[in-house]
Amino acid sequence: MKKILHLDMDGVLVDLEHSINEWLEKYPDVAYRFEKFPDHIPGIFRNPPPIKDAIEAVHKLHKSGKYEMFISTAAPWDNPYASSDKRFWIETHFGTLFRRKMFISHRKDMIVGDYLIDDRVVYGAGEFKGEHIHFGSEKFPDWNKVLEYLL
């Protein structure tokens, strides 16, 4: 039986910080409007670059046959474009791999699974009932360490 593996997006698959910084530099005249909540920038979730090695790592996990994989991400409530932009990002980078396998929630503690790869503990990630693989931590600083652990 396959283990259930949930993948967060921002900071795990997606380098959102890069896109935010790029946008703020490009539009300095209006940057002040998003200083406190840069994730409210319309369209910011649509085309950020992937985190180093993330795409390849997900394909390796999928090809291993060990996991039923899902995307589990939060989207800012005050950015109505975020949810659809995140879906388009997933389709652009993974095709149909995650078709109908995406959770958008601010309550990751209520998602059922064996593993959650997330870079933060907010939105219930820290209370996830399975094992929280804390991406970017000392134990799991990058995708190579995550793959060593899961494969």
Catalytic residue positions, numbered:
8, 10
Q: How far is CA 70 from CA 36, 44, 73, in A?
A: 30, 22, 10
DSSP 3-state of 140: coil
Closest CA to 141 of 116, 119, 123: 119
> Of 17, 67, 1, nearest to 9 (Cα)?
17
- CA 151 to CA 145: how far, in whole Å? 10
